[in-house]
């Protein structure tokens, strides 16, 4: 019964749902014990690149070489749109898991970006609930959530090939890997493999669930390259799958201690160490699904674009809570 309830909770919690600033002037190759103004600007930009993965115009393979933008709701990722960023590879609704995202070149900030979308289709949801632990080839004895690992392996060939070619042409560009929700889980595995294959990659995730066992979480935590795992207020998604099932987070956590709709300052972001820390986001009992869709601004979903299948409405978890899951 506990397993069934946890599976249902995971399905609900991985539901997908900024602010304007100048492009960041500095990027971080290693973890930061505190948040500076420069790092805050970087977080804003990376959130918008993660959000842009929800926009089909950036992932539909028909617009490769065009600028990253957030239409039809133009203006919801202004920092990303201000940067001169063109896609190099796009992938949408691939294979068994519908893994979706893009690889892009940001010439304004000298960045190579790998971005993964969160849950939008039925196959994404099936990947979310596929919580059996499986072996990976990232490191010896390293296991991960089967659905997340399968999602990454289905995108792996195209992403690794695009990065190999791009780094030959742009050897001085920094590599960043970003994602929100399910996209953050896939981004974690992608960054781990990119690093293991010799790339210096910095990871930024927003509202990512737990991805792996202690062995792999520790491996990723200790790899060269910055890990910025951001959580927000009482977003419930970073609390699944349960620790009880053997899943842990990478460390550290960068916790946004402000509710929805509030401008975030450096003092509002607390840094907590540990793969099982119960501070920050983990200290909450009350859950707010809207907190999953708001970090430094709304995570863009490009609401005017068609979504496969149907929308299912779930009610009654507690008074006043309504969960909309796009299938």
| CATH code of the domain in which 180 resides | 3.40.50.1820
Neighbours of 93 (CB within 10 A): 17
User: 17, 181, 213, 217: which one is catalytic?
Assistant: 181
Q: What is the pLDDT of residues 32-55, one digit of tens each?
A: 889 999 999 999 999 999 999 999
Annotated active-site residue 181? The verdict is: yes
Q: Is the pLDDT of residue 117 over 60?
A: yes
Q: Is the pLDDT of residue 73 over 50?
A: yes
pLDDT recorded at residue 63: 76
- Give the confidence band of 187 by pLDDT, cuts at 50, 70, 90: very high
User: 145, 180, 232, 292: which one is catalytic?
Assistant: 292
Q: Is the pLDDT of residue 312 over 70?
A: no
Bridge-based pairing of strands 143-145 and 133-135 is: antiparallel
Peptide bond into 26 cis (omega under 30): no
pLDDT recorded at residue 103: 98
Q: Which domain holds residue 197?
A: 2-326
pLDDT-above-90 percentage for the chain: 71
Tell me the average pLDDT of the chain. 85
pLDDT recorded at residue 314: 34
User: 232, 235, 251, 326: which one is catalytic?
Assistant: 235
Q: What is the pLDDT of residues 137-173, one digit of tens each?
A: 999 999 999 999 999 999 999 999 999 999 999 999 9
Q: Is the pLDDT of residue 4 over 50?
A: no
pLDDT-above-70 percentage for the chain: 82
pLDDT recorded at residue 64: 87
Residue 43 tokens, joined? 């977080």
Q: Which residue has the tokens 């959130």?
A: 47
Q: Tally the domains of the chain.
A: 1
Annotated active-site residue 133? The verdict is: no
The answer to whether the CB of 252 falls within 8 A of the CB of 31 is yes
pLDDT recorded at residue 217: 97
Rounded CA separation 38/111 (Å): 16
Q: What is the mean pLDDT of residues 8-21?
A: 44
Q: What is the pLDDT of residues 231-259, one digit of tens each?
A: 999 999 999 999 999 999 999 999 999 99
HSE of 94 in the Cβ direction (CA atoms, 13 Å)? Answer: 22
Annotated active-site residue 235? The verdict is: yes
pLDDT recorded at residue 7: 45
């Amino acid at each position: 019964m506990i397993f069934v309830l946890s599976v249902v909770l995971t399905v609900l919690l991985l539901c997908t749902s900024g602010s304007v600033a100048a492009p960041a002037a500095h990027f971080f190759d290693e973890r930061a014990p505190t948040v500076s103004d420069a790092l805050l600007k970087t977080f804003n930009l990376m959130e918008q690149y993660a959000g842009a993965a929800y926009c089909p115009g950036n992932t539909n393979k028909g617009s490769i070489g065009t600028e990253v933008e957030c239409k039809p709701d133009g203006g919801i990722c202004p920092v990303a749109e201000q940067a001169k960023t063109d896609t190099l590879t796009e992938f949408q609704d691939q294979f068994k898991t519908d893994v979706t995202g893009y690889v892009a070149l940001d010439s304004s900030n000298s960045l190579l970006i790998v971005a993964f979308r969160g849950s939008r289709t039925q196959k994404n949801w099936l990947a979310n609930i596929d919580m059996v632990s499986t072996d990976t080839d990232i490191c010896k004895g390293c296991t991960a959530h089967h659905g997340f690992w399968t999602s990454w392996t289905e995108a792996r060939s195209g992403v690794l090939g695009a990065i190999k070619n791009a780094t030959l042409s742009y050897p001085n560009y920094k590599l960043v890997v970003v994602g929100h929700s399910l996209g953050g889980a896939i981004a974690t595995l992608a960054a781990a493999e990119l690093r293991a294959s010799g790339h210096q990659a910095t990871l930024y995730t927003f509202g990512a669930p737990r991805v792996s066992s202690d062995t792999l979480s520790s491996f990723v935590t200790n790899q060269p390259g910055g890990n910025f795992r951001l959580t927000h207020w009482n977003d419930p998604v970073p609390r699944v799958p349960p620790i009880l099932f053997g899943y842990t987070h990478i460390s550290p956590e960068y916790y946004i201690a402000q509710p929805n709709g509030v401008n975030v300052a450096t003092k509002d972001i607390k840094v907590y160490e540990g793969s099982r820390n119960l501070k920050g986001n983990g200290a909450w009992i009350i859950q707010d699904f809207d907190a999953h869709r708001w970090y430094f601004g709304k995570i863009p979903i490009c609401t005017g674009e068609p979504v496969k299948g149907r929308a299912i409405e779930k009610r009654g978890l507690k008074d006043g809570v309504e969960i909309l899951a796009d299938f």
